[in-house]
Amino acid sequence: MNKNLVGIAAFLLAVFVLVPVAIAATGRWDLYYTLTSVALLAIGSAGVWLTFYIGRINIGQGAYALMGGYVSAVLMTKAGFSFWATLPLAGLFCAGISVLIGLPILRLRGVYFAMITLVLTEVTRLAALALPVTNGAKGITSIPLPGSLSVFGITLIPDFATMANPKLGFYLLAAALMVLSYVVLWRIVNSRPGHLCRSLQQNEELAASIGVNTAYLRVLTYAISSFFGGLAGAVFVAISQSIYPSSFAVADSVNFMLYCFVGGLGYVTGPMLGTFVLYFGWDLLSIAKQYQLLVYSSLMIAMMLVLPNGLLSLFDRKGGKK
Amino acid sequence: MEQILANGLYLGAQYALIALGLTLIFSLMNVLNFAHGQMYVFGGFVTYTVVAQWGLPFIVGLVSSAVILAVMGALIEKFLFRPVIRKSKRDESTMLLAAGIAFFLDAVILLLFGEKQRGVPKIVDGVFNWDMRLIMPYDRILIGVLAIALIVGFIALMQYTKAGRAMRALAQDRMAAQLMGVDVDRYSMIGFALGALLAGLVGGLLVTITGINLGMGGPTSIKAFMMIMIGGAGVISGAIAGGFILGMMESIGLTVLAVYGDITYLAIFASLMVFLAFRPQGLMGKPWG
């Protein structure tokens, strides 16, 4: 336990102190954008991971990221909400929608669930194109930067527009949200509902037969998962200050799933590591120019052949567990 | 109305052919082949290269698409899926592999064939016209008929040959098939090759009409997924039914819903959700196949 605490402290130190210091020292400001994206995508993958935890393959996170983004964008531009208010609203909206969609589709399992969530991603994109409120293919642009957030007159977060360096601000915001999400995730996994979820993953009928309310747990987990997706989408919109129907497409949904796989499905921090490795790896491979995708996918295939249970399964073997 | 039905039939025949390959691979190995759409695009480009660039007859292009894709499928099964299935703890891991292969094929297609939209010249000229009630170019009719003939051929293969019987046995129960002396590894490979071959054939057929481009892979996979969800995954009759149903719905939807804008797929998806709420395993699927 002590070792874990040291590890967490080191991680927090690295994320909130060392990275900004290192970037300021080297002048690689562009890395902020990459790292912010990693943090946000990691939030989305945390949700996907949670659905994996109940034994469902979720390839629909892109749909909720897109919905969350649109909710935030529409509320800010049309209803004049502040960004900070739209953040939880976007998450809640996605959670609400996911309950409606989840009630029928969570009865599906395995490949069936995977396929319908993938279809959901595509349909969300089409809906964003067709609905009047989303402004179609033109998207919603020139969304204001997040304003200041103050509680009882004390300004907690200054206005992003007046910040000397909004990139740093966004990075800290995303990193803080990511850490928060993973704390929540860790808490869920190590709670009674978390253990019940694990029983769902192993055998749903058996779990139901000993009195676990499987239907309720499934929908609840899926709603939390979609909440994460919406949250990530909303922050993305704030950063890029625009959203289009193609902002989150099928490829993004598939990527969310891949991040989880690469990190390892058996570990809470798996999706975070997977996101970091894949996203950063993709960026680094841009030196390969037109062979970027070829090298990337070959590495991915090679990794599956060598480590089919995810990167973190490396530590398993060291620990001698199996 | 006749026009809508004819369009639906024509679309459905192609869709059914795509879904057949996907469902075959799924039923044999429990693998959801994300790369199916990319295989289809690859097949289209092979036919394009043979027919439009080398000037050989269309049938040669079609056959070479089929052969190349079949070899590709066999190799992918033998060297990628088989070791991963053997080693991984959860069978979902194959999905990452399949997605990786999809990206890989995308990259290969981009490098080999470029990103331009490609097509081959019409193979038959002329338009069939029945009193202006039903208008259909002859090449579409030919492709539709070819697709239906291929479906019939595929069913015959599965029903009446030894390999077909072995694959059906595998799909029903892998363990039992193995105990009865079916060479599981060999027929998995043949099955995967056959699935890829079907994808290649559809690509070769469609390149004559709609042409082919790099971006078509993903959307095609998604449509194929929808079809096998309607029909039931891993069931051959289900894939055919799903293909024709989706083709019909698309054809009707594009005509009837055109006034409301581009919402056909939205409507299809909504009805799919309602349908799945009542019948999660699809029309003909085994529960939790």
At A117-150, the pLDDT tens digits run 888 888 888 888 887 777 777 878 777 777 777 6
Chain A CB contacts of B93 below 8 Å: 261, 304, 308-309
Q: A119 and B229: CB-CB below 8 Å? A: yes
For chain B, say whether A126 makes contact (Cβ under 8 Å): yes
Q: A123 and B32: CB-CB below 8 Å? A: no
Question: Nearest C-alpha of chain B: how many angstroms from A314?
Answer: 13
* SS3 call for B136: strand
Higher per-residue confidence, A222 vs B216: A222
Q: Return the pLDDT at B38.
A: 92
Q: Do the domain assignments include residue B71?
A: yes
Q: A119 and B226: CB-CB below 8 Å? A: yes
Is the Cβ–Cβ distance between B225 and B132 less than 8 Å?
A: no
Average the pLDDT over A171-195 and give the result: 88
> Cβ atoms within 10 A of the Cβ of B94, count?
22
Q: Do the domain assignments include residue B269?
A: no
Q: How many CA atoms lie within 13 A of B246 on its CB side?
A: 28
- Which of B78, B79, B86, B89 to probe by mutation at the A interface, max A CB count within 10 Å? B89
State ipTM: 0.78
For chain A, say whether B235 makes contact (Cβ under 8 Å): no
Place of tokens 């969300």: A124
Average the pLDDT over A71-80 and give the result: 87
* SS3 call for A31: helix
**Closest by alpha carbon to A266, among B91, B89, B31?**
B89
> Cβ atoms within 10 A of the Cβ of B140, count?
19
* SS3 call for B132: coil
Q: A116 and B272: CB-CB below 8 Å? A: yes
B134 forms bridges with which residues in the sheet?
A: B130
Average the pLDDT over A267-276 and give the result: 86
Q: Which two tokens stand for residue A83?
A: 């960004």
Range name among A64-78, B179-193, B245-259, B274-288 with the lowest pLDDT average = B274-288
Query: Which band of pLDDT confidence, cut at 50, 70 and 90, is reported for residue A170?
Result: confident
Number of domain units in chain B: 1
Q: Return the pLDDT at B182.
A: 87
Q: Which two tokens stand for residue A64?
A: 């909720």
Chain A CB contacts of B101 below 8 Å: 297, 301
The dihedral sign for the CA sequence A72, A76, A80, A85: positive
Question: Nearest C-alpha of chain A: how many angstroms from B112?
Answer: 11
- d(CA B143, CA B13) in angstroms, rounded, equals 9
Residue in B with minimal Cα distance to A101:
B273
Average the pLDDT over A178-192 and give the result: 89
Question: Nearest C-alpha of chain B: how many angstroms from A156?
Answer: 42
Q: What percent helix, strand, coil does chain B show, rounded to 5?
A: 75, 5, 20
pLDDT tens per residue across span B22-70? 989 888 888 888 899 999 999 999 999 998 888 888 889 999 999 999 9
Return the ∠ at Cα B201 (arms to B111 and B95), rounded to 5°: 65
Return the ∠ at Cα A310 (arms to A305 and A314), rounded to 5°: 95
Q: Return the pLDDT at B69.
A: 94
Average the pLDDT over A277-283 and give the result: 85
pLDDT tens per residue across span A196-246? 888 888 888 888 888 888 889 889 999 999 999 999 999 888 888 888 888
Q: Return the pLDDT at B31.
A: 82
In the predicted model, is pLDDT for residue B87 greater than 50? yes
